[in-house]
Amino acid sequence: MADLLLGKPVGDALSEDTKAQVERLRARGVQPTLAIIRMGERPDDLSYERGACKRAESLGIAVRKFLLSEDAPQAALMEAIAQVNADDSIHGCLMFRPLPKGIDETAACNALSPAKDVDGITVGSLAGVFMGTGVGFPPCTAQACVEILGHYGIDVEGKDVAVVGRSLVIGKPVAMLLLAKNATVTLCHSRSADLPAVCRAADVVVYATGRPRAYSLEHFATGQVVLDVGINVDEEGNLCGDVDFDAAEPVVAAITPVPRGVGSVTTAVLMRHVAQAAAAQS
């Protein structure tokens, strides 16, 4: 039976520090504030937004929403970003992606003020992650994976880590963050040859592909640590990860469940970044 790497204790520990920082800021008259920019009403965006708002409220962080319809033009989105940039009372911004078809996502991401980029979406923040300079904030989900490993005392130095998925939101940045911790990282994707063999050979595997329960017994090995970043809805409408949990759990040493795993840490990381951004700007 695998150890469950639950997200709640990790998120709670992070939030304790964030709460103390927020209290210090509020005592000096600074109200840490997060802007949320959302286009349309995708269920996964709404679900993440609810979690983020709840977490923000519990920490004393204010949230301001900039909501646009799914078919709003690029100019309306750029105007919302400009408002966020110009408003000194807003310290960080979460913009839901993927943006609707027809929107230039790269232009939108790079229009955000680097100082308010608390989710690592601008070129400057990503450069910080890839160059290891510590400039800017890393994408929250990628950082959440690092926090989970740290919280549970899983040291990746010298270990073989496979990351499945190469998006700029998760796969690539988490590979860089773990490389910076001296792991030997293999970054896998949809064209990787013999993915099961690569996964089986790794000490730690991060799955981030958005494929419901796609990774089964042939991918797992005894003693492995598995981080399942996927948040998917199965055919019965239930939330599930990328990993076939029931197949993995008897084999591997430790695994994050879905729900109750990586997702809950992501919002805690986001709030820590907002508090840090507020401190840096005030």
Stretch that binds ligand NAP, among 53-61, 125-133, 149-157, 187-195 (CB under 6 A): 187-195
* Contact criterion met (CB below 8 Å) for 254 and 5: yes
Stretch that binds ligand NAP, among 67-75, 122-130, 150-158, 185-193 (CB under 6 A): 185-193
231 is in an annotated binding site: yes
* Contact criterion met (CB below 8 Å) for 38 and 96: yes
Q: Is 216 in the site for ligand NAP (CB under 6 A)?
A: no
Residues in binding contact with ligand NAP, number by CB under 6 A: 25
Report which secondary-structure segment, H or E, holds 11.
helix 7-27
Instruction: Single out the residue of 15, 21, 122, 141 in contact with ligand NAP (rule: CB under 6 A).
Output: 141
Q: Rounded to 5 degrees, what angle do the CA atoms 26, 148, 173 make?
A: 90
Q: Is 229 in the site for ligand NAP (CB under 6 A)?
A: yes
Instruction: Single out the residue of 2, 204, 263, 275 in contact with ligand NAP (rule: CB under 6 A).
Output: 263
Q: Is 191 in the site for ligand NAP (CB under 6 A)?
A: yes
Residue 198: which residues within 8 A CB-CB, separation 6 or more?
A: 162, 186, 188, 192
User: How many Cα atoms sit within 13 Å of 152 on the Cβ side?
Assistant: 24
Instruction: Single out the residue of 19, 26, 64, 166 in contact with ligand NAP (rule: CB under 6 A).
Output: 166
Of the two residues 122 and 209, which places its CB atom closer to ligand NAP in the complex?
209
51 is in an annotated binding site: no
CA torsion sign, 231 to 234 to 240 to 241? negative
One DSSP character per residue, 42-62 reads -HHHHHHHHHHHHHHHHHT-E
Of the two residues 25 and 171, which places its CB atom closer to ligand NAP in the complex?
171
Cβ at position 227, least distance to ligand NAP in Å: 9
Instruction: Single out the residue of 231, 255, 270, 277 in contact with ligand NAP (rule: CB under 6 A).
Output: 231
Instruction: Single out the residue of 208, 248, 268, 274 in contact with ligand NAP (rule: CB under 6 A).
Output: 208
User: How many Cα atoms sit within 13 Å of 174 on the Cβ side?
Assistant: 34
Long-range contacts of 188-191 (CB under 8 A, 24+ apart): 188/162, 188/163, 188/164, 189/164, 189/165
167 is in an annotated binding site: yes
134 is in an annotated binding site: no
> Cis bond leading into 98, ω under 30°?
yes
Cβ at position 95, least distance to ligand NAP in Å: 13
* Contact criterion met (CB below 8 Å) for 130 and 88: no
Residues annotated within a binding site for NADP(+): 165-167, 231
Q: What residues make contact with ligand NAP under the rule CB under 6 A?
A: 141, 164-167, 169-171, 188-192, 195, 208-211, 229-232, 262-263, 266
